Chains A and B, each alone.
Chain A
Amino acid sequence: MSIASLAPRADFPLLAANPALHYLDSAATSQKPAAMLDALRHFYETSNANPHRGAYALSALATDAYHDARATIARFVGVADADCLIFTRGTTESMNLVASSWGGAHVGPGDEIVVSAIEHHANFVPWQQLALRTGATLRIVELTSTQTIDLDMLRDVIGARTKIVAITHVSNAVGSITPLQDVVRIVRSRSAAVIVVDGAQAVPHLAVNFDALDIDFYAFSGHKLLGPMGIGVLVGRRKLLEAMPPYQFGGDMIEWVRDADSTWNVLPHKFEAGTPNAADAVALAAAVRYLDGLGMANVRAHEIALLEAAEARVRALPGVTVYGPPAAQRSGVLSFSLADVHPHDLATILDQHGVCIRAGHHCAQPLMRRLGVSATARASFYVYSDGSDVDALVGALTAAQQLFATVD
């Protein structure tokens, strides 16, 4: 199959060193370009000092690099006010920050928190636990037959008691893209709820503009968009962030400490306790520049082409169920089951063919329950994927079916 990769494999040291490897687990974590790895190394080799702390040139260099990284990433996700972009450890921490800080201050008995049945655990459990902690009610919006959020049910569920609507932009498990504009319209017309969006699977694959979305919080992780593990982002509206209590205490988030109480630093520092993860922020900015160079419209077009080609060939195998809406309404995720071959067995057999896929519940157990399965197999594509990856996937699936004798 002749679909070329969008980004040269040569730009990715791990892929370059493993020409026979077919990495189809980018929804779990992406591979890393040399440009990002170089930036990480360059920071530690040339600018390593504690940002904001030292009254010397090297510390100023580190501070500038950290500041520039924030500005670059803010531009990439359409945030004009870069001080409203908080660096966290990842999407999970971002969600816990909002649940703990905003939720802890504003949610009480009788209030309602709305999530959907497709959420990743990181955007489900923090809200479930907030509800349990505060006496609020967790309302779960169900899904359509193609695993997208049921807007009719959303309309029914949202009301005067709704305090928070937490919803994913793109499903990690089946790839469905949420019609965010419709969601926002429904929520805004029926409630004063804050809208929290899990963008972990969206920012790597779609052009995102936070300011244009009319939402309140948006979270994503660095490692899924060519960046390092252990850094992520929370974007919020200034008015909300300024009114929120801190999430953690210590380090840069401090302004004055008196014996009896303390005051807090301004945004974004108020939510960045401890020594900031400057090196990873700088590396994430380099990853973002790399993606910018490819063009997010090209990223999207490339993924749709691969997804449509892969899906047609996988569907042609006997006993296949593909989950989610049509390829054009999904990110680069192909989630499927093969009759009589458990996803775990598939993943083991595919690995022997050099094909890395994810098999499991994808940290989306509420969704798996609704699909009536314990697990699915998930192949996920990204900028370095090409037609040979699809060939290898289909070839290995055929081999698995032969081993399990589900085909002659």
Chain B
Amino acid sequence: MSSVAPFTASIAAMYQDALLAHHRAPHNRRVIESPSAVGARKNPVCGDDITVMVTLESDAVRDVAFTGRGCSIATASASMMTDAVLGLTVSDALALADAVDRMLHPDAGQAGSADAVPEPLPDALTPLRGVAPFPGRHGCAMLPWQALREALTAKR
């Protein structure tokens, strides 16, 4: 009979210092008083929820912030997301959300196989690569990106 392997991927690679630093001191965790767009998503697995607020100017993200509660992965991902999308156009920000999604999902051919070439992502998002081998946590990492998508799609 085959045995059950616990997660063998490196926990340390996921909970690397860079990610934990975002979790402990998240960037842009605040309220934007009159945002151009708002998106909110809940993780049905655990009830975590993240709200993302965006201020747009000439189709570019001039300000972005988040509130809500989540695990370290969701919080750090939200923090990194706000850094990464600041200044991007709506299209580029949505494309970046898609790229993060593809990076996390091995089925999309990026993170799963050893010889897959990792899709370029901004350096600020590098710590999120550690989450890819943990399918149970993809939902946590994507939560703020889904909220961002909701906000930007509604605004389009």
- For A361, the closest partner residue in chain B by CB is B47
Inter-subunit contact A365/B4 (CB<8 Å): no
**Interface bits A341-354 vs B (CB < 8 Å: 1, else 0):** 11111011101111
**Which of chain A's residues have a CB closer than 8 A to the CB of B48?**
342, 344, 374-375
- A374–B49 touching, CB < 8 Å: yes
Do B2 and A17 touch across chains, with their CB atoms under 8 A apart? Answer: yes
Complex Cα gap A280–B142 (Å): 39
- Given known A361-B47, A365-B47, A404-B20, contact A344–B137 (CB-CB < 8 A): yes
Q: Is the CB of B136 within 8 A of A360?
A: no
Q: Using known A-B contacts A21-B4, A344-B140, determine if residue A360 contacts B72 with beta carbons closer than 8 Å.
A: no
How near does chain A come to B89, taking the closest CB pair, in angstroms?
Answer: 33
Q: Which of chain A's residues 52-92 have a Cβ closer than 8 Å to chain B? A: none
Whether A110 is near chain B, meaning CB under 8 Å from some CB there, is no
Name the B residues within 8 Å of A347 (CB-CB).
Answer: 136
Once the chains bind, are B69 and A374 in contact (CB under 8 Å)? yes
Docked complex: B38-56 residues within 8 A CB-CB of A: 45-49
Q: Tell me if B46 and A374 are in contact (CB < 8 A).
A: yes
Identify A344's interface contact among B1, B6, B46, CB under 8 A. B46
Q: Is the CB of B46 within 8 A of A17?
A: no
CB contacts (< 8 Å) of A348 on chain B: these are 7, 11, 14, 134, 136-137
Shortest beta-carbon distance from A198 to chain B in Å: 21
Closest to B45 in A: A360
Interchain CB contact under 8 A, A14 and B4: yes
Which residue of chain B has its CB nearest to the CB of A369?
B47
Instruction: Assign chain B's interface to a size class.
Output: 20 to 34
Whether A13 contacts B134 in the complex (CB less than 8 A), given A345-B73, A348-B7, A349-B11, comes out as: no
- The verdict on A342 contacting B45 (CB below 8 Å), with A17-B2, A349-B11 known, is no
How far is B72's CA from A344's CA once the two chains are assembled, in angstroms?
9
**A18, A344, A349 pick with most chain B CB within 10 angstroms:** A344
B54 to chain A, nearest CB (A): 24
Is the CB of A403 closer than 8 A to any CB of chain B?
yes
Q: Provided the pairs A342-B71, A344-B71, A404-B72 are in contact, do residues A353 and B47 lie with their beta carbons within 8 angstroms?
A: no
Q: How far is it, in angstroms, between the C-alpha of A5 and the C-alpha of B52 when the chains are bound?
A: 49
A359: CB under 8 A from chain B?
yes
How many residue pairs link A and B with beta carbons under 8 A? The number is 68
Residues of chain B lying within 8 A (CB to CB) of residue A345: 15, 71-73
> Are B6 and A352 in contact, with the CB atoms below 8 A?
yes
Encode contact with A along B12-56: 1 for CB under 8 Å, 0 otherwise: 001100001000000000000000000000000111110000000
Q: Residues of A contacting B140 with CB < 8 Å?
A: 344
Binary flags per residue of B60-95, CB closer than 8 Å to A gives 1, else 0: 000000000111110000000000000000000000
CB distance from A186 to the nearest CB of B (A): 32
Q: Verify A360–B46 contact, CB threshold 8 A.
A: yes
Task: List which A329-370 residues lie within 8 A (CB) of chain B.
Answer: 341-345, 347-349, 351-354, 359-361, 365, 368
B3 within 8 A of A: yes
Question: Complex: how many Å from CA A14 to CA B134?
Answer: 23
Looking at the assembled complex, report how far the CB atom of A389 sits from the nearest CB atom of chain B, in whole angstroms. 14
Q: Are B70 and A353 in contact (CB under 8 A)?
A: no
Assess the B73–A344 pair: CB atoms within 8 A. Answer: yes
Chain B residues with CB under 8 A of A353: 6
Q: Is the CB of B7 within 8 A of A351?
A: yes
> Which partner residue on chain A sits nearest B2 by CB separation?
A17
Also in contact, A13 and B1, with CB within 8 A (given A348-B11, A352-B6, A359-B46):
yes
A360 to B11, CA, bound (A): 20
Complex partner residue of A351 from B6, B20, B46, B72, CB under 8 angstroms? B6
* Structural contact, B3 and A17, CB atoms closer than 8 A: yes
> Do B69 and A17 touch across chains, with their CB atoms under 8 A apart?
no
Complex Cα gap A342–B70 (Å):
8
Listed by A's residue number, 24 A-B pairs whose Cβ atoms lie within 8 Å are A14-B1, A14-B4, A17-B3, A18-B3, A21-B3, A342-B71, A343-B46, A344-B45, A344-B140, A345-B73, A348-B7, A348-B11, A349-B11, A349-B15, A352-B7, A359-B46, A360-B46, A360-B47, A361-B47, A374-B47, A374-B69, A375-B47, A375-B48, A404-B20
Interface residues in chain B, defined as those with a beta carbon under 8 Å from any beta carbon in chain A: 1-4, 6-7, 11, 14-15, 20, 45-49, 69-73, 134, 136-137, 140
Lowest 3 A-B CB distances belong to which pairs? Answer: A342-B71, A374-B47, A344-B71
